[in-house]
Every structure is written in structure tokens, then in C-alpha cells.
Structure 1
Amino acid sequence: MVEDMNQVEVKVFQVGDLVKGRVTKVEEKQVIVDLEGSKLDGIIPISELSSLHVEKASDIVAEGQELTLEVTKVEEEAVILSKRKAEAGEAWKRLQESYERGETIETEIKEVVKGGLVVDLGVRGFVPASLVEDHFVEDFSDYKGKTLTFKIVELDIEKNRLILSHRAVLEEEKSKMRKQSLESIEVGQVMEGTVQRITDFGAFVDIGGVDGLVHVSQLAYEHVEKPSDVVEVGQKVKVKVLSVDRDNERISLSIKETQPGPWANISEKAPKGYVLTGTVKRLVSYGAFVEVFPGVEGLVHISQISHKHVATPHEVLKEGQTIQVKVLDVNEQDQRLSLSIKELLEKEDEVKDYELPEESKGFQLGEMIGDKLKDLK
């Protein structure tokens, strides 16, 4: 009769049933639970305590704890249970809803493994290394125990596959910041930014969550061969907004527009009569343009190149040549500078005329001959 009663008790449980149990004993490799309404022991193998690897059962449960469990096997003397599967069923349902809604999930990093991070959301979630941050991370060892916010990027219940991304959260936040920044940025605005990237054609500067391009021509008033000669990554710079394309999220910036122009105070730097050293930049039919300060070119008119007749400036000068010039006139408002090479050659010509050693000697010799003739008479 007792045997019949036991059989009746066993039939109460079916594989897949969810049952309530209270932990009565925590052993090294399993946990014993008291099942409500049954005299059969419930046993939870250590492998069924969590979706993650468990070293000690006592790390997961404690005596007296009430648990919801799933029946995995019914034996004559005991019922084999799983805490992991019971939690997974509810977890998958909850995660599926979050995935469909595009919600974020905040959770703690439980393990750092080869290739990424592992979290416990009732089921094992994996975060590939490439989806942890929006920048390269060499060592993830200090991520264990950190709490981060994630988005589900892949969910497959049948394959028990859950892939999460913290990078997606960061990129979404940056996208929101970009839109907000784009709405507030106006043409002509002067802002402080940080150089993020340098290319052959310019530098990208972060101004409040959105990157703008400073074209190489807008880096400085003087000619710039390589942007890296003028700015470096991480440098704080002042920029002026030249244009904003909100639809395509493009911003054009200028560093040189925030700096004093090369012609500022030119009347003080190059007053009339001042002698400067410059470089011949361009030769034209009517003269030569000479750069005397970075971004400041003055014209040496063809009539001011030499005392001798010059048919074309190419006869006397060449581009890249370093010469001395004298300031004839300066107009800061119109950004015009008149220069002369000839003015500095006049003194040399005068010295040559003054010395005339050959003619002088000839004249003295004539006087001496005249004197001798007088003596003969």
C-alpha cells in the first residue's frame, strides 16, 4: 500500500513543470530542496544553479532560500531540478520584449573571457570585444564587476544565443548629442574644440559631440603642407563655424578665422622706409610678389626691380629666391604693400660712381704729364 502511495506521489511531477522549493542543504556539488506538497527530495545539480560557471553551490544559494525551479527528471526517490532553466524561461520572455522595444539593459559584468565579456541576465549573455566600447581596448581585465548599459543586438532562444552591445548604447548617445549640437550650432559662432583626427586634407575637431572639418586651407593664414605640422590629436583649439549642413551632419570650421589676420598691425610691422627680408612667391609680367611675413605679400613693381631697364622680372628674379626689399607704401585697409629692390641698390651704385679708381688714376697721370711738359719748356 505504501508503494502505491509513493507511485502516486511521483506522478505529481512532470518534466518541464515549474515548482516551488526551499533549500534545506547546500552541498559541494548539489543542493537539496524541500518541495511543497511532496515528500520526495528535490536535487539541484551544481551545473543547474546558474547559466554561468559555478565553483561552489554556496556562492549561488543559501539554506532557507525559496526558489522557483523546473523539473528536468523524475526518479523514484527524488526529483531532479534546475534553477537555471526556470530562470531562463522567464528571462527569455523578458529579454525578447526588451529586444523588440529596443530597450537598454543595465547589468554587471560577471566574467572576462577570451574574445569578450559575459553577463548573467537569467541566461548567459555574451559581449564581443568589438562591441564593448567605441574605441580599441587592449585589456578587459578590470571590467569584471563593472556595471554597464547594453542593447541586445542578437537573440535566438532555440540556439540559446544572446549577444549584447555596450558600444551601440554609446553610439546612440553620441547620435543624440550630435543632433542636439547641430540644432544649436550657428554660422559665425566661435567655439572651443578638440582635434580628433588628422588627414591629408585637414583636421576633424570635436565641438560638443559633433565633429567638424577644418580644411587644410583654414588651418592657418600661411600655406600649410601637412595638417600635422600645425595641429595634433588631442589639442584644444578655437574654431569658427563657416557652414552647417544639418541634413548630412556636416560642419565646416576654421582655425585661422579666430586668429589675428596676417595684415593686422602691418603698418607697425612694416612702416614706410623699413627694410625687410622676403621670399619671391610669384613672378608676373608687371613685377614680383614677395612674401615678407606669413600670409603677407607685397608687390615689387617691375620699375622697382633695378636701375637698369628690365623687360621681364624673370631676367632678374626667380621664385623661391630670398631678397631684401624696402617698403615704399603700406595700406593696411586694402591689404596692399608696395616694395622696392632698386631703392636698396642706389647706395651701391653711388659707391661705384664715387670710387671710379680707374678714371681717377688716369686723370692724375694726365696732370703729371702736363707738369713735366711745363718743366721742359
Structure 2
Amino acid sequence: MSELTFEQMLDESFKTIRTGEIVSGEVIDVKPDYIILNIGYKSDGILSKAEYTNDLSIDLTEKVKIGDKLDVKVLKVNDGEGQVSLTHKRLVMDKGSKILEDAFNEKTTVKGVVTQIPNNKGVIVVVDDVRVFIPAGLLSDVYEKDLSKFMDKEIEFLMQEYDPKQRRYIGNRKELITAQKAKALEEVLSKIKVGDTVEGTVKNVTDFGAFIDLGGIDGLLHIKEMSWGRIESAKKLYKAGDKVKVLIKEINGNRISLSTKFEDENPWKDLSARFPVGSVVTGKVARMTDFGAFIQLEGGVDALLHVSQISKNHIEKPSDVLKIGDEVTAEVTEVNEENNRISLSVRAMLQPKKKEENADDNGEEYATVDVESVVAAQAEEEAKEAPAVEAPVEEAPVVEAAPAEEAPAEEAAPAEE
């Protein structure tokens, strides 16, 4: 048996490798663009940045250090320069692809970080270096106008499509959210019923109300249900994150309507006893419309002073004689507790004073309230600017003259006969 040469013995001391084989190596040098590994072969392995990651902006010296262990796949046993060409990225991608395949077949969820938002048409999520596209329509169960909030966030989703040959990986987060909400709704509905009082967290506030998280499912607190009084803006009362105690008003399928109008705090309760018809009340103008002014009598109780009841004189619109904040005294003419309505009248207060007519030349009376003072002032202004008011006095002689001229005519008639 012939003796082996030194070179042959050296070659036999190293393991053999094949293209596609997965080997473990130790980092012996790191440069910004490539890594050198000892893989137990007669030649060192070279791992380029492009075969380490898809993110070419990184500096490898910041990610890897000498002595680190890496699992790599052999691309070429000899890259032409006597070195072994390696890849780490493809090994990771194989692992990621297997994760996605299992998730697709078994209908299980996967998690990944959003790395791109192409033209706001969807997001790209990376799962072990495999890029999964989730279209905007499959990103949520509600319309998402701005997708930038998902950037760099880890999200969970289901696999809609899996085609490694075409490198087509499509995710679906909408289906997952819908299923989670259905389960959450079932759990919440098993614990609550109409009439219950629960605590929730304000999730979002809109012009028409606030959405309250009741523990995995949202309920709507409409602006009309936020107070017994009138609310100008829901955003002035609540903000995201606020804790709020709410009443379950209605449950309709997956919709839950909420209210903060608790019956024991109802200011309209026993209203007839506090504001009986015929009583005189004083309040401040809270708001106005073309048909009347709403007078706040107490917190949550606004009464309507119709434009026709503001004065004995004609008023075109309430803002002609009133402004927000004015104090008005009027008589209660109607109380409707069922519909939470109170009607007021300033004119009604003038009725008992009919016996005191001839108070002035025009025979008009004014209530001792600000409203009538304004009306009276307007009447005086019109009187000064209208001398034609004396016209009826000039017509008086004409009315008297007619009989004087007719008298002779009646006597002359027999003479003609």
C-alpha cells in the first residue's frame, strides 16, 4: 500500500461538501459587504451581503461579529477563486416558506413586520425573509385610508395564497379580525344584556358619537345619548383612552348601542311638578333657530320659546331681539314629559294686563322683560320715522262731509215729484 502524500492527507482531514448542502460555519472575519466563515472545508466560505439579507442598506459589521455561528447553504463549491460561495438568506427563506406553507394548509396564523407600503395599496410583511403582500382590502374589516400607521409594526394574519414557484404569497388580515370580533362579540354578549351598566374605553371619537371598546367589541355612544342636554361636539366631551361608564341601550346583531343618560339622573323626570303649566320661569337663551329660541331652565332641560310667542308684535326671527346668553322670563304653556318638551310664551304673560289698556296712545303693552323692551324700542323708532300715521285723521272730515252733502239731496227728491 502506497503512502499518501501530505497534500492528500490534508485533503482527507477536511470534510467534503456539495452544492445545496446546509453547513454550519464560524465567522472568522467581517467586512461591511461580506462575511468569511470557516465551514470545516479546505477553503473558506464567502457570504455576501446580498446572500445574507434582502436589506442591502445594512452594514454587516453591525450585525455580525467574529466568532458567531451561522447556518448556511452551499451555492457553489468553487466560486472561481477557490472559495465556497454561501447563502444565509435563502436558508432563512426556505424556513419562512415552510412556515407560510404550514399556515396556508392548516389555516393557522403567522406574524411578521411591515417593511413597505407600496403606493398605499397594501403592505409588505416579512416572515423570515419571505415577503408577503397584504392588499389594503384584506388588511382590516374597516376601510383604512392611511396605511402608514402599520409601518414597522408586527401584525398577525392568515395566508390567502401560497405559490412558491411564482413567489406569490398573499396574506389576509381582514378574515382574522372578523373572526376575532365574532368570537369577542359572542363572549361579550354572554356577559351583558340590555339595561346593564358596564365600563368601557373610548376607542375613537367622530362628529356623530364615540366608539367604546367593551372588551374586544365596540359599542356606539351616539352624541344624542351622551347627555340629557344638547351636545355641540362629541370631541369636546371625550378623547381616545377615556374610561366611561355606559348603559347598554340596544343590542341588534353585532351592533351595540350605548347611552350615558341614566334614568336616575333624568332632569325631565317629574317635570310637571317643577315647571307646572301657568308658572313663570326664567332662563337663558342656549341656542336659536329660525322658528324659535331654546331657553335653558336647568342642566339638561331646554324649553322652546316659539318665535310667535316672543312678543305681541310680529318678530321675523328670534335673533332680531335675542342673543345667546340673554335672560328671558316667560310663562310655561305646555309640558310634555313623554317627549321631553316644554313650551314657553312671553305673550301669555301679557294676557292678564288687558284691563290696563290705554297705557299709551297706541294702546300697546309690553312685558317687563328684555324681549319686550327691545320690541317696544323698535316700535318707537318706527313711529318717529312714519308721519303717514296721521293720514287717518285727515280722512275724518271727508267721512263727515258726505252726510252733509246728501241731506239736501234727500229733500229735493219730493220737489221733483
Query: 1:125/1:59 Cα in 2 relative to 1: closer, same or farther (>3 Å)?
Result: farther
Q: Which amino acid aligns with 2:248?
A: V
Are 1:212 and 2:200 matched, yes or no?
no
Report the Cα offset of residue 267 of structure 1: 2.8
- Pair 1:21-2:25 in alignment: yes
Which residue in 1 is equivalent to 2:164? 157
- Change in CA separation of 1:114 and 1:264 when aligned onto 2, cut-off 3 Å: same
Paired residue secondary structure (2:98): helix
1:9-59 deviation per Cα after TM superposition (whole angstroms, max 9, x unaligned): 8995432222333333334433333333x4233222232122432643333
Cα distance in 2 for partners of 1:217, 1:113 equals 39
- Which amino acid counterpart does residue 347 of structure 1 have in structure 2? K
Q: Percent identity?
A: 22
Q: Aligned residue for 1:348?
A: 354
Among residues 48, 56, 62, which one is paired with 1:45 in the alignment?
A: 48
Change (3 A) 1:129 1:317: same
The 5 Å alignment of 1:311-330 reads 326=331
Kindly state the Cα deviation for residue 320 of structure 1 after the two structures are TM-superposed: 8.3
Q: 2:255 aligns with which of 236, 250, 258?
A: 250
Out of 250, 253, 262, the residue aligned to residue 268 of structure 2 is 262
Q: Which runs of 5+ in 2 are unaligned?
A: 322-327, 364-417
The answer to whether the 8 Å contact 2:125/2:131 transfers is: yes
Deviation at 1:186, TM superposition (A): 1.4
Structure 1 residue 85: Cα displacement: 1.9
Which amino acid counterpart does residue 192 of structure 2 have in structure 1? I
CA distance in structure 1 between the partners assigned to 2:52 and 2:342 by the alignment:
86
Structure 1 residues 57 and 203, CA, compared in 2 at 3 Å: closer, same or farther? closer
SS of the counterpart of 1:345?
Answer: helix
Q: Does 1:70 align with 2:73?
A: yes
Q: Which has the higher contact order (CA 8 A, sep 6+)?
A: 1
- Segments of structure 1 that go 5 or more residues without pairing to the other structure are 282-289, 299-304, 306-315, 358-377
User: Among residues 175, 180, 183, which one is paired with 2:190 in the alignment?
Assistant: 183
Q: Match for residue 308 of structure 1?
A: none
For residue 88 of structure 1, the aligned residue among 83, 89, 93 is: 93
CA RMSD, Structure 1 to Structure 2 (Å):
5.6
Alignment partner, residue 312 of structure 1: none
8 Å CA contact retained: 1:262, 1:296: no
Please state if 1:58 is matched with 2:61.
yes
Asked if structure 2 preserves the Cα contact closer than 8 Å seen for 1:218 and 1:253, the reply is yes
Which moves more between the two structures, 252-261 or 318-327? 318-327
**Aligned-pair CA distance for 1:349:** 1.4
Shift of 1:319: 12
Q: Which amino acid aligns with 2:99?
A: R
Q: Give 1:71 shift.
A: 1.8
* TM-score between both structures, scaled by the size of structure 2: 0.54
Task: Please give the per-residue CA displacement for 1:143-191, whole angstroms capped at 9, x wherever unaligned.
Answer: 4xx7x34335454423445566888877765554444333322111234
Distance across 1 between alignment mates of 2:52 and 2:333: 93
Give the one of 229, 236, 248 matched to 1:241: 248
| Structure 2: distance between partners of 1:162 and 1:69 | 24
- What code does the residue aligned with 2:267 have? G
* Aligned-partner residue type, residue 251 of structure 1: I
Amino acid at match of 1:274: V
Amino acid at match of 1:243: E
Query: What is the 5 A alignment of 1:127-138?
Result: 131=139, 136=146
The correspondence of residues 294-309 of structure 1 with structure 2, limited to 5 A, is 294=301
- Point out the structure with the larger strand share: 1
TM-score normalised by length of structure 1: 0.58
Aligned residues: 318
Verify the 8 A CA contact 1:205 1:213 in the aligned structure 2: yes
